[in-house]
Amino acid sequence: MDKIIYFFSFSDPNIQNVVLGSVLLTLSCALVGCFTFLRKRALVGDAIAHSILPGVCLGFIVSGTKDPLFILIGAFLTGWLSIYLMDFIVKNSKIKEDTALAFTLSFFFSVGILLLTYIQHAGYASQSGLDSFLFGKAASIIDKDLWIFGITSCLIILTFTFLFKEFTLISFDPNFAKTIGLPFKRLELVFTTCTVLAVVVGIQAVGVVLMAAMLITPAAAARFWTNNLRKMVFIAIVLSCFSGVTGAFISSIAPAMPTGPWIVMTISGIAVFSFVFAPGKGIIARWHLQRLNQTKIREENILKALFQISEKDNEFSKPRSVLSILEKREIPQKELLAGLKRLKSQGYLKKIGEMWALTEEGKNQGQRITRLHRLWEMYLNQYLDIAPDHVHEDAESIEHILTPELENKIKQQLNYPKVDPHDSRIPYKE
């Protein structure tokens, strides 16, 4: 408990650095990540992250010291080069995008490892610490790093604030952006530069492999809670800042624990939670919706069956046995009984003894479904020239979907036909 209070009082300058650093890094990555996610180029960040390594080593070899400026320039250059190489491969050969991506990231990384081990064995005095680009060093962020992180994050945030509309446009509708005369190539250049910058600084917090998570995971999680881009960016930033602080907190109460992986663990946990539980889009919500649809379809089918039985003797309020419904339509018995009970509580059916009768509402509903079914069969037959014996299956599924507006259009198109292709009467409302 003392440790928790100590951590959240932020009195330790070391903790201040780590928390502020993690937040700055995760924030700019989440911002850029939302756009790479929407452009379906989520894994490009992964490739850039791996491709930075040779640049870091080259920067070190050229300057002979761990001068952050040289290293960042080197990292920036090879990061850029990797994007160029990927595009070059896809454009100039039959190699597909996924292979080009996997190739580029592993090739640059292997050259990086080659150079890194060369430097380590060649006896450079100040080489220790270069591998923070491999594993991240969020737990040992110092003031000087903080300045670099801060300036880069501000640059990225400012760019995105000013060019938000343009970036939105080139992400969602590049063709429209070109037509209205936006400098598409230059915007693309700025966007890629921001991505590389975000990766170059972000990688120092979480390391090569987990970098991809800082870009992709907050955006993917946020996507499940909203359809609005501004809200999505906001949610992604909040989620990733939260995981940044959590990661820093865990590594401060358990010093052996690495910060980067815990940041990723936290944000991944949130993302998986969102995929499963988010209202409307999550797995459970989708499953529930599917269940609702199935129940609705089953109930409509029961009403339709009852209506069609009654059609023969033209006595719509006469009670019918369960057996006669089953004769008309095969429905698993358990589901049929459950469906009948639900329909009764909704006021579509009346139970008389062991028999079931349609109410006025139930009759209308059954009539509507039958009408839609037969209208659609007629439509397929007349307009798409489909033989009468091929139209039933299709009508069976569409009858549950057609809206009243569509129904009216079809009726007008067909000029209120009296019978369907099987010569069954199409029932209209009196």
Partner 1 sequence: MENFYIILMGALVACSCGLIGCFLILRKIAMVGDAISHAVLPGIVLAYLISGSREPLPMIIGASVLGILTTIIIELFHKKAKLQEDASIGVTFTWLFAIGVIMVTAFTGKVDLDQECVLYGEIAYVGLGETGVPLPIITMSIVLFTIILLIYFFYKEFQLTTFDPAYASAIGVSVAVWHYILMGMVSLTTVAAFEAVGSILVVAFLVAPAATAYLLTENLKVMLVLSCISGTISSTLGYFIASWLDASIAGSMAAIAGLLFLIALLFSPSQGVIFKKRLFQSVST
Minimum Å gap between C-beta 412 and partner 1 is 36
Which amino acid is present at 72? L
Among 203, 271, 309, 402, binds partner 1 (CB under 8 A): 271
Distance of CA 192 to the CA centre of its chain: 22
Minimum Å gap between C-beta 402 and partner 1 is 25
Other CB atoms within 10 Å distance of the CB of residue 240? 32
CA-closest candidate to residue 424, choices 373, 387, 365, 363: 373
Report the C-alpha gap between 214 and 229 in whole angstroms: 18
Among 7, 35, 70, 262, binds partner 1 (CB under 8 A): 262
Enumerate residues 6+ apart whose C-beta is below 8 A from 99.
Answer: none
Largest distance between two CA atoms of the chain: 100
Site membership for partner 1, residue 177 (CB under 8 A) = no
Contact of 378 with 414, CB cutoff 8 Å: yes
Among 170, 213, 233, 237, binds partner 1 (CB under 8 A): 213
Which of positions 15-74 make contact with partner 1 (CB under 8 A)? 37, 40-43, 45-46, 50
Site membership for partner 1, residue 94 (CB under 8 A) = yes
- Nearer of residues 47 and 336 to partner 1, judged by Cβ: 47
Which runs of consecutive H residues, i.e. helices, occur in 225-258? 229-253
Among 106, 128, 293, 346, binds partner 1 (CB under 8 A): 106
Site membership for partner 1, residue 261 (CB under 8 A) = yes
Contact of 139 with 258, CB cutoff 8 Å: yes
Which amino acid is present at 44? V
Contact of 283 with 272, CB cutoff 8 Å: no
- Nearer of residues 114 and 292 to partner 1, judged by Cβ: 114
Site membership for partner 1, residue 140 (CB under 8 A) = no
Minimum Å gap between C-beta 203 and partner 1 is 13
Among 116, 156, 358, 380, binds partner 1 (CB under 8 A): 116
- Nearer of residues 80 and 356 to partner 1, judged by Cβ: 80
Other CB atoms within 10 Å distance of the CB of residue 33? 30
Residue tagged 């509903």 (tokens)? 365
- Nearer of residues 111 and 406 to partner 1, judged by Cβ: 111
**Two tokens, residue 196:** 């590389």
The site for partner 1 (CB under 8 A) is made up of: 37, 40-43, 45-46, 50, 89, 92-96, 98-99, 101-103, 105-107, 109-118, 121-122, 131, 134-135, 208-210, 212-213, 215-217, 219-220, 223-224, 256-258, 260-262, 264-265, 268, 271-272, 275-276, 281-283, 286-287
